[in-house]
Amino acid sequence: MSDQTGSIESHHLPKGATAETYAPSPEFREQANVTDPSVYWKAAQDPEGYWAEQAQNLQWTKPFSEVLDWTNPPFAKWFQDGELNVASNCLDRHVAAGNGDRVALHFEGEPGDTRTLTYAELTHEVKRAANMLTSLGVAEGDRVAIYMPMIPETVIAMLAVARLGAAHSVVFGGFSAESLRARIDDAEARLVITADGGWRKGRVSALKPTVDDALALNGGGSTVSRVLVVERAGNDVAFDEDRDLWWHREITAFDGEHEAQGFPAENPLFILYTSGTTGKPKGILHTSGGYLTQVSTTHRDVFDLKPDTDVYWCTADIGWITGHSYVVYGPLANGATQVIYEGTPETPDWGRWWSIIQKYGVTIFYTAPTAIRACMKVGRQVPEQYDLSSIRVLGSVGEPINPEAWRWYREVIGAGTAPIVDTWWQTETGAIMISPLPGLTPLKPGSAQVPQPGISVTVVGEDGAPVENGQGGLLVVQRPWPSMVRTIWGDDQRFIDTYWAKFGDRYFAGDGARLDEDGDVWLLGRVDDVMNVSGHRLSTAEIESALVEHHAVAESAVVGADDETTGQAVVAFVILKSQQSILSLDDAEPELKKHVAAQIGAIARPRQIFIVSELPKTRSGKIMRRLLKDAAEGREVGDTTTLADTSVMQTISDRVRSER
């Protein structure tokens, strides 16, 4: 890349070091939230004690007496006899503590409109919304689907649902009607909250019509009785008078008086769907007390948050776990001031993010490697036009950050001094599990490094025995943790099979990893059929089944191939039905790309589709995706001796090569 940084000082530790390291500066260390390294071993001696202490930072309407119930693994219960209200922990208590005038949200719309909500104002809006939802019949135990752009009402809606003890299921606004419907059905949502549309890349991206389409599928009957629509983009939308309601009209009937009730710590807070190794997305269930404890603790310590002076910005969409834990619950539980931005980094030009940082004086910035690499490509001359001197901590999440991107991030965005916290975690873990602590950890570009206090991970072989440092293996979490997934919604057996069957009562994360000589963790990518495209999880099986649903397709195989910007990209190999006369070879690729986007959502659109006449299969008929991945990444194809027909891979590699 053209603007690789050359001026970074790095030193090599004489012994045990596996990479360049960057120790915290004395000035940073001095002011950091966590400065005593004994926190690690103290927490390791008594993890439950550590988490119980962290839980005391929350406000409980009924204190807990039991920290962890692990008598029925893998079904953990944390703080189970305690009661709390998650929303009032994020709102009312800050107002009660005299911080009502502190800004909670600096909202920046993509067209340039802005809105500021203090904690008092946000609390008021959430109370009104809670009253409105109550009038629509939402109560403890219900599920509410949320399909929204990145606007304040999305945060308000989530917190209002939580305030009532109901659970939300936020569906990313880029998902198709089919995907939305599958999630609504699985969660049996009774209400959908959406917007007319949102702004993306200078245009209105409609949302309400997709909700209409979703609810019209399968003959029209669904569990949903009401659709609440926020007016955001002003696009024309159809209105079903019996079912649809405008948020801004309804809300006028409700005031800001609402007493928050405590709910049990294990009351469901949300379901969030994520891709697994089979076609059907998994509804990851998170509950209240443990989740809020770990997201708030990690948000405070990993980002070194100072609520009264920091301005925090996490660029994740609320439709993903990062948006749940580090836009909504972590920062608001901590009383942070944060920025939320509706649109894309390149609108109206690539300076947008940096201008937002300059405008609001952002001090903590959390984004994904794929975005950093995209900005690197555009060039450092763009961020260099802005004053980014307010930045003091940088975060990364979603995939391993390659050292080149790490150095660029630190040098160009972090003035060569800001610590970078590379945070490893998952939808299932709910909160950060592995990350440096910025005042303590000498940073190693490319490694997520250290399990958080109270968290214990290791790397094991297929047999479950630890592998030696330096060897690759499978990442496992050794003990239950407060924000862990409680089950897959409606499917306890799949929960057991997916995460626990392999290694007993240790959690199998699905990631490869190795420990270096210092014991630092290096993540090596997924070991299952889950791809990571721009930090988003996609399942090969889900895309394959979308492809074969097309009437012209006989068979398909999908792989995640290395991609310079997006980390991995979807590459599909497709056999067309021999009798089909619908698709010419030339039309097939664009048509099938469109089809996948319509079935699942634009994020799943393949980068390339190769029409082939055969797929590489073993004698027992199993598709060897590993070989297809070799071909897609332009490598020499690996061992083909187990193939039923060894010439198939030759033909496919020639095909791929001819298109490079």
Pick 532 or 653: Cβ nearer ligand WTA: 532
Angle at alpha carbon of residue 509, lines to 506 and 510, rounded to 5°: 130
Give the residue from 264, 321, 546 showing the smallest Cα distance to 329. 321
Q: Is 107 in the site for ligand WTA (CB under 6 A)?
A: no
Question: From residue 345 to residue 384, what is the string marking binding to ligand WTA with x (rule CB under 6 A)?
Answer: ----------------------------------------
How far from chain centre, in Å, is Cα 578? 41
Q: Which is nearer to ligand WTA, 199 or 329 (CB)?
A: 329
423 binds ligand WTA (CB under 6 A): yes
Q: How far is the CB of 539 from ligand WTA (least distance, A)?
A: 12
Interface with ligand WTA (CB under 6 A), residue from 375, 448, 457, 546:
448
Return binding residues for CoA.
200-203, 322, 534
Are 357 and 365 within 8 A, CB to CB? yes
Counting contacts by CB under 6 A, is residue 422 touching ligand WTA?
A: yes
Toward ligand WTA, which CB reaches closer, 312 or 424?
A: 424
Is 324 a residue that touches ligand WTA (CB under 6 A)?
no
How far apart CA 317 and CA 325 sit, in angstroms, is 11
Where do we find the tokens 């891709």?
Answer: 275
Gyration radius from the chain CA atoms: 24
Considering the complex, state which of residue 237 and residue 448 has its C-beta at the smaller distance from ligand WTA: 448
Closest CB to ligand WTA among 523 and 546?
A: 523
Looking at the Cβ atoms of 569 and 631, the one nearer to ligand WTA is 569
Strands (E), 302-359: 311-314, 337-341
> Total residues at the site for ligand WTA (CB under 6 A)?
22
Q: In the bound complex, what is the minimum distance in angstroms from residue 406's beta carbon to ligand WTA?
A: 11
Contacting range for ligand WTA; rule: CB under 6 A; set: 418-426, 540-548, 621-629, 634-642: 418-426
Q: How far is the CB of 527 from ligand WTA (least distance, A)?
A: 9
Least separation in angstroms between residue 536's CB and ligand WTA is 6
Return the number of the residue (511 or 518) whose C-beta is nearest ligand WTA: 511
- CB of 74: closest distance to ligand WTA in angstroms? 18
Shortest distance, CB of residue 18 to ligand WTA, whole angstroms? 16
Q: What are phi and psi of 302, to 5 degrees?
A: -70, -40
Question: What are the φ and ψ backbone dihedral angles of 433, each rounded to 5 degrees?
Answer: -115, -40
Torsion of CA 122, 126, 128, 130, to 10 degrees: 180
**Measured in whole angstroms, how far is the alpha carbon of residue 542 from the centre of its chain?**
18
Amino acid found at 480: P
Task: Tell me how crowded residue 82 is: count the other CB atoms within 10 A of its CB.
Answer: 23
Which residues define the annotated binding site?
200-203, 322, 398-400, 422-427, 511, 526, 534, 537, 548, 550, 553
Which residues are annotated as part of the binding site for ATP?
398-400, 422-427, 511, 526, 537
Q: Is 378 helix (H, G, I), strand (E, B) or coil?
A: helix
Residue of 21, 54, 322, 498 interacting with ligand WTA (CB under 6 A):
322
Q: Does residue 616 have a cis bond before it (omega within 30 degrees)?
A: no
Q: Could you tell me whether strands 553-563 and 567-576 are parallel, antiparallel, or unpaired per DSSP bridges?
A: antiparallel
Q: What is the token pair recorded at 219?
A: 């003959």
Residues in contact with 246: Cβ distance below 8 Å, sequence separation at least 6, in sequence order = 228, 229, 231
Between CA 417 and CA 414 the distance in angstroms is: 6
CB of 609 to ligand WTA, least distance (A): 25
Kind and range of the H or E run holding 30: helix 26-31
Distance of alpha carbon 53 from alpha carbon 79, whole angstroms: 12
Q: How far is the CB of 315 from ligand WTA (least distance, A)?
A: 13
Q: Is 483 in the site for ligand WTA (CB under 6 A)?
A: no
CB 286 to ligand WTA: min, Å? 12
Distance CA 599, CA 362 (A): 38
Bridge partners of 69, per DSSP, are: 77
Considering the complex, state which of residue 321 and residue 374 has its C-beta at the smaller distance from ligand WTA.
Answer: 321
Q: For ligand WTA, which is the closer residue by CB, 93 or 536?
A: 536
- What is the C-alpha to C-alpha distance for residues 92 and 43, in angstroms, rounded to an integer? 30
Regarding beta strands 77-78 and 103-108, do their DSSP bridges make them parallel or antiparallel, or are they unpaired?
unpaired
With contacts defined by CB under 6 A, name the span among 86-94, 204-212, 421-429, 600-608 that binds ligand WTA.
Answer: 421-429
> What minimum distance in Å lies between the beta carbon of 119 and ligand WTA?
26
Q: How far is the CB of 274 from ligand WTA (least distance, A)?
A: 5
The residue among 538 and 656 lying less far from ligand WTA, judged by its C-beta, is 538
Q: For residue 372, what are its two tokens?
A: 């950093």
d(CA 477, CA 429): 10
Q: Which of 166, 128, 131, 165 has its CA nearest to residue 146? A: 166
Residues making up the annotated binding site for Mg(2+) are 548, 550, 553
Of 119, 312, 425, 489, the one binding ligand WTA (CB under 6 A) is 425
At 573 the three-state DSSP class reads strand
Taking residues 500 to 539 in sequence order and writing x for each that binds ligand WTA by CB under 6 A, - otherwise, the string is ---------xxx-----------x--x-----x----x--
| Nearest-approach distance from CB 326 to ligand WTA, in angstroms | 9
Q: Which of 21, 80, 427, 539 binds ligand WTA (CB under 6 A)?
A: 427
List, in sequence order, the alpha helices (H) in 188-334: 208-216, 247-250, 289-302, 321-323, 330-333
Q: Which DSSP helix (H) or strand (E) runs through 476?
A: strand 472-477
Q: At what angle do helices 47-55 and 289-302 cross, to 10 degrees?
A: 90
> Would you say 524 or 644 has its CB closer to ligand WTA?
524
Contact 250, 130 (CB under 8 A): no
Looking at the Cβ atoms of 170 and 637, the one nearer to ligand WTA is 170
Q: Which of 66, 60, 52 is nearest to 84 (CA)?
A: 60
Length of the chain: 660
Cβ proximity to ligand WTA: between 230 and 559 the closer is 559
CB of 381 to ligand WTA, least distance (A): 28
Q: Show the binding pattern over residues 378-417: x = contacts ligand WTA (CB under 6 A), - = does not.
A: -------------------xxxx-----------------
Question: Which residues pair with residue 643 across a beta bridge?
Answer: 618
Interface residues with ligand WTA (CB under 6 A)? Answer: 274, 320-322, 397-400, 422-427, 448, 509-511, 523, 526, 532, 537
